[in-house]
Structure 1
Amino acid sequence: MGTRLPLPLSLRVPLIVAGLMVLMGVIASQLVVTSLVRSQERQLADLAQSEFATLSTTLAPLIQREDLWEMFDALDRATFQAGRFAPAAASLVDARGQVIVSTRPERHPIGSPGVALIAGAVPLEDLSYDNARELISVRQVVEYQGRPVAQLVIDFNASELAAERRRAWFWLIAGNTAATLILALAGYLLIRRVLAPIGRLSREMSRSGGASQTFPEAMIPRHDVELANLYDTYNAMIRAVEARGQTERRLAERERFVSLGRLAGTLAHEINNPLGGLLTAVDTLKRFPDRADVVGKSADILERGLKQMRDVARGALNVQRNSQAGTPLSAADFEDLHLLIRPEIERKAQRLHWQVAPDVADCGRLPAGPVRQVVLNLLLNAAAATGPGADLGLIAQRDAGGLRLTIWDSGPGLPDHLRPRLLSDAPVEPGDGLGLRLVRDLVQSMGGGIALGQTAAGQNAILIDLPLAEDGTGTDA
């Protein structure tokens, strides 16, 4: 099927007007020509009746006397008349169907059959005009003292009438065409001027580079109340969108801090756990400083506890540093994420499945900070949404397009009312799930995509595809 070429409104309206003008012109032209034809036919009938009345009166006694020369002379004088509908030839056929006399003896000799001549002529009372003919053959019975004596056939020259009709058609077509073009051009210029403010508004609304801007007061057509209201409504809409965007950013930042608070609480719990053992070891050292075996065991407890606290603190510090600096993604980032999420998982008695492919280390063109924040946020959400004893995990692997991250859990999946926050750019209302919008913003900033799916085992999953930057510098976070 062929595609239709879209036409702007400023062109469609003049074309519609031009089409209506053409239609009206055709109808008006047909009415004018029809009126002209009727007028011409009335003139033809009047002229023909006058001509037949004169000749019939003249020829009737001549036919009675069989005076051929006088009959020929009368017919010949009639054909030499000038006018718009003058006789061009005339013939007289007797009651037996033979030609008595004709102004064209070479075509209709005296005594020749006149049946065809009569058959080719129309009766005077049925006279009409066909524009395709320049000669009209008309016949009428010639009577003498109330009885028919012959039939008179006259060929009238209608070339002037045909020329008049052609001139009428020419001027009608030329006039209608000129009027249509002039009015269409005037309509185009007028519509273009009227729609200019709407065109500016449409271009501003369809801008692809950067956010739309409000129109300054000087550009609002205050002389047109409806257009001014439209511009004011657009400006109000832009301000409302900007205000909503600022609110969303503040709420997303608040959610980020909430997530960090949750993480800080978990880290505090993870650090507090070994502190009891460390304090016990210190107390043992104080009580038995002279026993080498007790001192050695207490030193081992202190070393393990301190290393555990160091690892937790280092992981949190790496997350903060990588969020602020454009550090490339590496395998160590996933180790830090595993270390950070594990205390929350253990606190809820959940099972964490961690699958990071070795080739993920080749994804250094991706920024570490946004990737870590996305994974940590989704894992914390999964841990919060599923109950104790649930399974959740991360699958990180390379594919043809870049890095694929699969965050899955054994729960019922992402609720329907939260899906728009993660899968669309539609405005979100305050409430739960603002971290999901932050995840979407971070993934989009890296040129990636988000989808919902399932793992090979059938668990609900969130699939994130992150393309690798071609210039080797990573995408802008």
Structure 2
Amino acid sequence: MIRAFARLPIALRVPLLGVGMMVLVGLVASQQVISALTRTQEARLAELTRQHVDGLSLALGPSVLRQDVWEVFDALDRASRAGEDRRMMLTVVADVDGRVIAATDPKRAPVDSMLSDLVDLDAVPDLHEIALSDGNRHVRVLAPLLYQDRDVGRILTELDVSDLTTERARAAMALLLFNMAATGGLAIVGYIVMRRMLRPMGVLTGRMSADQGRPTRFSDEEVPSGDTEIARLFHTYNSMVDAIEAKADAERRLAERERLVSLGRLSSSLAHEINNPLGGLLNAADTIETYADRPDAVRKSAALLKRGLLHLRDVTRAMLDHNRIEGQSGDLGPQDMDDLRLLVAPEMRRLGQRLDWDIALKKDDLLGVPAGPIRQIILNLLLNAIQAAGRGGHVSLSIRALPSGLRIEIVDDGPGLPEPALRRLMTSEPASTGGGLGLRFVRDLVHQLDGMVEHGRKDGATRIVILVPGMAKQEVA
């Protein structure tokens, strides 16, 4: 019940809570009114009964002492026909021993019968204990018959209180109807008011749900006026949107700067890789030009030219493959691994590093695995590992085929990833300045492939493992 209530819209929950509180207050107030009315009726009934008993005591005292049945009966008969005493349905007069002397209805209370045979004397209240109860139209009262301060008998009176109970029932019904009308009217008004008050919240919630991760600002015309708290909430939402856009813009600029830095570092290394064979090619061209009449020298120089040009072709092709569009890349193959090794070799030679290259893959293991994302992942992680290992460092790459896909492991003996870089690799938190945006690029690529990234630091080495599921293989199968 509570869970179902909690799932209701707040515009409905608040009025319902208000209705519940009003119903509770109405019930308490109605109970107090009915209780006050009952106390008033009981006090009036007790006063009427006391006057009746006092009058009878004064009139019947001598007759009761003389045990004059006819005098007592005559006095009772006159009293039952007079004014308010008509409320008295039955009056029985008994002596001190409880023997009936006379009654307004001799059939119900015969003369000389015992009063205890008519009623349970212990259950009949006295004048101070008269109480009206629901459903009880008659009330009995037992009072002493006093004459000249002497207790000369007992008076049992049965009163008709049907008019009082009817009056109380009508009052209760009137209160109930009034409370229902007031509660229903206030509930409707409360619902309308709450809907009106919460309408801006619904607009805000709808905008946030429709944005799907791309929040947009509210225009000045859309910000509600008059309600400073709601307006402040809208302005806060606009500030949040501005902050998100500024953060995303800064991340894009940082990513572009990181890409340019990585490209510059890679281009510088490849420029050295190209510049070295160019010197040999120029020497070979000079030799051919100088010794054109010597076939053996020309053949040797031509062979040198061919080897140099083939090397340049391999480097250029590796660069083109690295920058080709992902959607145009085919399946991963052994040549991609050779290109990756060729791309990182100049930087490793410059830093005097050692590379362990352990790739145990068959052609079937690479079937259906997209080359573009995998190349980008491995190259970015290798360049980061080379930079972290520093001069004379040690870097290793291991790739294995598992029943579930590919396992790529890169290890370096550098000082480890700083906290910002580690958050970019392992979480989707907004990127901050510093920390290597290439790692965020790696995480995004792995996420697109439904893969998983693992990181560990042990024995002075940083180990990053990429697990890529083999869903492409399953589709081919």
What is the CA deviation profile of residues 340-396 of structure 1, one whole-angstrom value per residue up to 9, with x for unaligned ones? 2233233332213242533442225x4x43432232112111111123231221425
Structure 2 counterpart SS, 1:207:
helix
Partners of 1:42 and 1:396 in 2: how far apart? 99
Q: Is the 8 A contact 2:407 2:465 kept in 1?
A: no
* Offset from partner CA, 1:376-430 (integer Å, 9 cap, x none): 1121111111232312214253554x55544443445432222222233332233
Distance across 2 between alignment mates of 1:202 and 1:30:
44
Aligned to 1:59: 60
Amino acid at match of 1:167: R
Cα RMSD for the two superposed structures: 3.4
Deviation of 1:94 after TM superposition, in Å, equals 0.9
Q: CA distance change for structure 1 residues 407 and 174 in 2, over 3 Å: closer, same or farther?
A: farther
Quote the Cα distance in structure 2 between the aligned partners of 1:238 and 1:106: 95
Moved more, 433-442 or 48-57: 433-442
Alpha-carbon distance between aligned partners in 2 of 1:78 and 1:106, rounded to the nearest angstrom? 18
The structure-2 alpha-carbon separation of the partners of 1:134 and 1:100, relative to structure 1 and needing over 3 Å to count, comes to: same
Cα offset for 1:132? 5.2
Checking the alignment, whether the CA contact within 8 Å between 1:409 and 1:461 is kept in structure 2 is no
Question: Aligned equivalents of 1:18 and 1:50: distance in 2?
Answer: 47
204 and 83 in structure 1: CA distance in 2 versus 1, 3 angstrom threshold = farther
SS in structure 1 at match of 2:221: helix
Classify 1:188/1:256 alpha carbon distance in 2 versus 1 (closer, same or farther; 3 Å): same
**Paired residue for 2:12?**
11
Deviation at 1:154, TM superposition (A): 0.4
CA distance in 1, matches of 2:143, 2:473: 100
1:355 aligned residue (338, 347, 359): 359
Q: Any residues of structure 2 matched to 1:185-204 within 5 Å, and which?
A: 185-204=188-207
Q: Distance in 2 between matches of 1:470 and 1:55?
A: 113
Structure 1 residues 40, 315: CA separation in 2 closer, same or farther (over 3 Å shift)? same
**Matched residues in 2 for 1:394 and 1:69: separation?**
128
Partner of 1:48: 49
Instruction: Say if 2:388 is the partner of 1:385.
Output: yes
The alpha-carbon deviation at position 328 of structure 1 amounts to: 2.6
Pairing partner for 1:345 from 320, 344, 348: 348
The answer to whether the 8 A contact 2:424-2:440 is kept is: yes
* Matched residue, 2:418: 415
Do the aligned residues in 1 keep the contact of 2:52 with 2:85 (CA within 8 Å)?
A: no
* Structure 2 unmatched runs, 5+: none
Q: 1:212 to 1:389 in 2, by over 3 A?
A: closer
Label 1:32 to 1:239 Cα distance change in 2 as closer, same or farther (>3 A). Answer: same
Counterpart of 1:269 in structure 2 is 272
2:382 counterpart SS class? helix
Stretch moving more, 82-91 or 384-393: 82-91
- Is the CA contact 2:80–2:86 (under 8 Å) kept in the aligned structure 1? no
TM-score (ref. length: structure 2): 0.86
Aligned pairs (5 A) from 1:180-259: 180-207=183-210, 209=212, 211-259=214-262
Structure 1 distance, partners of 2:282, 2:129, is 133
User: How many residues in Structure 1 have an aligned counterpart in Structure 2?
Assistant: 468
What are the ranges of 5 or more consecutive residues in structure 1 without an aligned counterpart? none
Residues 242 and 373 from structure 1, CA distance in 2 versus in 1: closer, same or farther, beyond 3 angstroms?
same
Q: 1:408 to 1:395 in 2, by over 3 A?
A: farther
Q: Compared with structure 1, are the counterparts of its residues 354 and 273 closer, same or farther at alpha carbon in structure 2 (3 Å cutoff)?
A: farther
Partners of 1:181 and 1:469 in 2: how far apart? 63
Of 65-74 and 9-18, deviating more is 65-74
**TM-score, with length taken from structure 1:** 0.86
